[in-house]
Amino acid sequence: MSAASPTPPPGPGAVVAAPPVDRQEEVLTEEALAFLAELHRRFTPCRDELLVRRAERRADIARTGTLDFLPETAAVRADDSWRVAPAPEALQDRRVEITGPTDRRMTVNALNSGARVWLADFEDASAPTWHNVVGGQLNLIDAFERRIDFTDPRSGKGYALKPAGELATVVVRPRGWHLDERHLTVDGRPVPGALVDFGLYFFHNARRLLELGRGPYFYLPKTESHREARLWNDVFVFAQERLGIERGTIRATVLIETITAAYEMEEILYELREHASGLNAGRWDYLFSIVKNFRDGGERFVLPDRNAVTMTAPFMRAYTELLVRTCHKRGAHAIGGMAAFIPSRRDAEVNKTAFEKVRADKDREAADGFDGSWVAHPDLVPIALESFDAVLGERPHQKDRLREDVSVTAAELIAVDSLDASPTYEGLRNAVAVGIRYIEAWLRGLGAVAIFNLMEDAATAEISRSQIWQWINAGVVLDSGETVTAELVRRLAAEELDAARAESGVEAFAAGRWQDAHDLLLRVALDKEYVDFLTLPAYEELRD
């Protein structure tokens, strides 16, 4: 399947259908809108086909109750000769990466954090209001031009960028293929958000970054197959040729955060091999994908409380070890999961306990062969650095550890019932509480939200509402003896709404989106038909 239409019809640039936001003319230039229109006309038809293929594959999983490595790509896996392109200097050392949205404060803090890489997020950590979409692009441009700062409204303290040599390397995460950008249309159709985020960033910054000794680097989210990776590669080739950038300048790290992609890691690297930089192992979206794809697979696919499913669970261990083995076999970086703890300002004991857990987690990843890992807060950067420094020393990575001892079967990747844990009443309550609290913030335009001392993003809400749906439909009996039913979930949701009102006060509660969040969580958790992505109906309720 070709990813590009062979002769896309000529036409005008993308049309903006949104109230103007400050300085948008600097981003939405006539040339940039024409570039987006070219991307849309060439690649959206293939994107549409691939979304249909996702649905077809999900139907196959429902019918067979299993997954396997692809027989048609066995030759790619068996060929030991190919490698991904060598990493550019700016991406050689990735031992600690910080993640976060592209608002002005986070842009300065992340670049100054001491992490080697900043995942500048237009996806799960960013609610796609028009202000966030355009403002995020402006903040990145301003950062590269060194004209960005911010003042803390609480302390009045001002923050500016450190010297260039001390700043993190920016790796942008665009939205997934499934989300459209309703404020930009071409030929009457909305442009995929992935092409908007990629296209605007690449158009405005590719040359600027090269002059700074960096490059246009990306994280690719929600990938479900090597065909989707092929589409991205074709987008990269076209974009570089169109703007006169040397082919292979772009580098992409793919998040292996869907269960189907876990069976196609080598193929994904192969399709992107001239642009590939590595693979990342994330937890919440991966678990969400397992529930989504095997939601009617019976008791053996019922996940326990989300916090009970750590990276040491047997099926998660199989996934992460296979990822390290695959990456190093092909010369790519293996990047580990998220430390999401947000330090408490008032409870030193809570911080001490959490820091110990973060350290143990990062020690494990470094010992397993990962080349780097994620944190959500600057205070966690030194902890993760210590773990990886202890293993790496002066080396930039440990790709020489081929992990040839690892052998993972298809069945081990979906052996959910190998975990000795069960759903609990408190786990259900937490899923409802976190789901409502996160959705309420998202509907107000916040994508990264501190909830119960953890930095949560859209993946959190996805796994929370998916587990509620799964537990209801599987008739799960909790440790309390109660069966999970719609009525029980409604009761817990009402209690959470009351708790939010009591915590925030009547006026703040009324000014928020609490009732909307409550109603949306119940809709996606209780409806008979499972919605593929929570953010699709949520986007319809997002105000600009």
Residue 2: pLDDT over 50:
no
The domain that holds 461 is classified in CATH as 1.20.1220.12
Say if strands 251-256 and 454-456 run parallel, antiparallel, or are unpaired. Answer: unpaired
Asked if residue 387 and residue 429 are part of one domain, the reply reads no
> Is 406 within the bounds of a domain?
no
> Is 278 within the bounds of a domain?
yes
- d(Cα 111, Cα 102) in Å, to the nearest integer? 11
> Is 411 within the bounds of a domain?
no
pLDDT digits over 436-457, tens only?
Answer: 999 999 999 999 999 999 999 9
Residue 5: pLDDT over 60:
no
Alpha helices (runs of H) in 393-534, residue ranges in sequence order: 410-413, 425-443, 458-473, 486-504, 506-511, 514-526
Asked if residue 72 and residue 141 are part of one domain, the reply reads yes
Q: 364: which residues sit within 8 A by CB, 6+ positions away?
A: 311, 312
Decide: helix, strand or coil at residue 335.
strand
CA atoms in the 13 A half-sphere facing the CB of 166: 9
**Mean predicted confidence (pLDDT) in 464-476:** 97
pLDDT cut 90: percent of the chain above it:
95
**Mean predicted confidence (pLDDT) in 63-91:** 98
Q: 520: closest CA among 456, 450, 454, 458?
A: 458
- d(Cα 216, Cα 199) in Å, to the nearest integer? 11
Asked if residue 277 and residue 354 are part of one domain, the reply reads yes
**Mean predicted confidence (pLDDT) in 47-59:** 98
Residue 353: pLDDT over 50:
yes
What is the pLDDT confidence band of residue 345, given thresholds at 50, 70 and 90? confident
Q: Kindly state the greatest CA–CA separation across the chain.
A: 65
> Is 100 within the bounds of a domain?
yes
Asked if residue 388 and residue 449 are part of one domain, the reply reads no
Asked if residue 118 and residue 252 are part of one domain, the reply reads yes
Domain span including residue 41: 15-392
Residue 32, token pair as written in the block: 């940039």
Asked if residue 426 and residue 388 are part of one domain, the reply reads no
The domain that holds 214 is classified in CATH as 3.20.20.360
What is the pLDDT confidence band of residue 81, given thresholds at 50, 70 and 90? very high
> How high is the mean pLDDT of the chain?
96
Query: Would you please indicate which residues are annotated as catalytic (active-site) residues?
Result: 173, 457
pLDDT digits over 140-178, tens only?
Answer: 999 999 999 989 888 898 999 999 999 999 999 999 999
**Mean predicted confidence (pLDDT) in 512-530:** 97
Into how many domains does the chain fold?
Answer: 2
Q: pTM for this structure?
A: 0.96
Task: Note whether 39 and 195 are within 8 A (CB).
Answer: yes
Q: 194: closest CA among 221, 170, 217?
A: 221
Give me the residue label for tokens 């091999």. Answer: 273
Asked if residue 470 and residue 426 are part of one domain, the reply reads yes
Decide: helix, strand or coil at residue 297.
coil
Q: 6: closest CA among 46, 37, 34?
A: 46
Decide: helix, strand or coil at residue 300.
helix
pLDDT score of 7: 45
> Is 403 within the bounds of a domain?
no
Alpha helices (runs of H) in 330-473, residue ranges in sequence order: 348-368, 381-392, 410-413, 425-443, 458-473
DSSP string, 224-257: -SHHHHHHHHHHHHHHHHHHTPPTT--EEEEEE-
Task: Note whether 522 and 493 are within 8 A (CB).
Answer: yes
- d(Cα 121, Cα 459) in Å, to the nearest integer? 13
pLDDT score of 152: 86
Decide: helix, strand or coil at residue 150.
strand
Burial class for 132, CB neighbours closer than 10 Å (0-12, 13-18, 19+): buried
> Is 120 within the bounds of a domain?
yes
Asked if residue 442 and residue 354 are part of one domain, the reply reads no
> Is 328 within the bounds of a domain?
yes
Asked if residue 388 and residue 447 are part of one domain, the reply reads no
Decide: helix, strand or coil at residue 153.
coil
- d(Cα 224, Cα 388) in Å, to the nearest integer? 30
pLDDT digits over 34-44, tens only?
Answer: 999 999 999 99
Q: 429: closest CA among 375, 478, 376?
A: 478
Asked if residue 207 and residue 165 are part of one domain, the reply reads yes
pLDDT score of 417: 94
> Is 7 within the bounds of a domain?
no
- d(Cα 275, Cα 110) in Å, to the nearest integer? 25
Please identify, among 392, 413, 447, the residue that sits at the C-terminal boundary of a domain: 392
Residue 9: pLDDT over 60:
no
Asked if residue 335 and residue 241 are part of one domain, the reply reads yes
pLDDT score of 170: 98
